[in-house]
């Protein structure tokens, strides 16, 4: 029963890290760079299932990443978007600046998915706590 808490906590941590990366992406949506520099890259949190074959009562399972935290990958479009803004202080002689290639609608979709995953894992913890407390009440 205690392994439920361990598995659910890995899910909570994964989705919390995902929400942090999404917030960072949205915050940098309008970050401007000169055209000769690399645009701000989109962050994506990558996790995988824990492949450990150990028995469930040992407390294994859940989501694992590289090391203590989950692996954050960066987008594959360092070029971003070139936008013609001749009045911008970072514009080159042609009047272009570089914006990140981050799509706000994709970030909002990912945010809803991560939020629901976070809530689902917290609900598992809550239900497990209620079941554990009910089991303790039987002993009285």
Q: What is the pLDDT along the chain (140 residues), one digit of tens a residue?
A: 557 777 888 888 889 989 999 999 999 999 999 999 988 888 888 877 766 545 444 455 666 544 334 566 666 666 788 999 999 999 999 999 999 988 899 999 999 999 999 999 999 988 988 888 888 888 77
User: How buried is residue 54: exposed, middle or buried, by Cβ count under 10 Å (0-12/13-18/19+)?
Assistant: exposed
43 CB-near residues (< 8 Å, 6+ apart): 21, 24, 25, 72, 73, 74, 75
* The pLDDT of residue 5: 79
* The pLDDT of residue 57: 44
User: Which residue has tokens 């914006």?
Assistant: 99
* The pLDDT of residue 75: 63
């Amino acid at each position: 029963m205690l392994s439920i808490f361990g598995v659910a906590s890995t899910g909570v941590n994964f989705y919390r890290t995902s929400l942090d990366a999404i917030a960072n992406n949205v915050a940098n949506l309008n970050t401007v760079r000169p055209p000769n520099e690399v645009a701000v890259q989109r962050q994506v949190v990558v996790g995988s299932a824990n492949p450990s074959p150990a028995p469930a009562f040992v407390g294994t399972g859940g989501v694992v990443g590289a090391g203590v935290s989950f692996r954050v990958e960066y987008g594959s479009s360092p070029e971003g978007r070139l936008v013609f803004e001749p009045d911008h202080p970072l514009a080159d002689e042609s009047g272009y600046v570089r914006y990140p290639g981050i799509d706000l609608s994709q970030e909002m979709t990912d945010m809803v998915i991560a939020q629901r995953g976070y809530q689902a894992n917290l609900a598992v913890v809550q239900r497990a706590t209620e079941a554990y407390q009910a089991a303790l009440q039987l002993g009285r």
